[in-house]
Amino acid sequence: QTVVTQEPSFSVSPGGTVTLTCGLSSGSVSTSYYPTWYQQTPGQPPRTLIHSTNLRSSGVPDRFSGSILGNKAALTITGAQADDESDYYCVLFMGSGTWMFGGGTRLTVL
């Protein structure tokens, strides 16, 4: 059974740059999976950051960017701020109306 992999946790200093990744336990992530990234804070629904690999959702600061790095999708935060401390989820479209989320990455800014 294929699973979507994410780092469980990551830490970044204020003003620093961090890259979170989204991979597959079997195979490579490509643009065909339309990787999408969400930010979630406690008690709130997810907020769309980046969709379809590298398209920034409306109102999302340009310090958030998406890409394919090697065989994974990646979310890069440049110039991290305190309020970027959140859970980040990626989701892949697996085809035939099915989707698969990664386990999420808890980002700490300190």
Partner 1 sequence: EVQLVESGGGLVQPGGSLRLSCTASGFTLSSYEMNWVRQAPGKGLEWVSFITRSGDTMFYADSVKGRFTVSRDNAKNSLSLQMSSLRAEDTAVYYCVTIVYGSGNSYLYYYMDVWGKGTTVTVSS
Cβ nearer to partner 1, comparing 57 with 78: 57
Interatomic CA distance for residues 29 and 23, integer angstroms: 6
**Of 70, 39, 76, nearest in space to 54 by CA:** 76
Phi-psi region of 82 (alpha: psi -120 to 50; beta: other; left: phi over 0): alpha
Residue 67 in contact with partner 1, rule: CB under 8 A: no
Q: Considering the rule CB under 8 A, would residue 26 count as an interface residue with partner 1?
A: no
Q: Which is nearer to partner 1, 15 or 103 (CB)?
A: 103
**Which residues bind to partner 1, rule: CB under 8 A?**
34, 36, 38, 40, 45-46, 48, 51-52, 55, 57, 89, 91, 93, 96-104
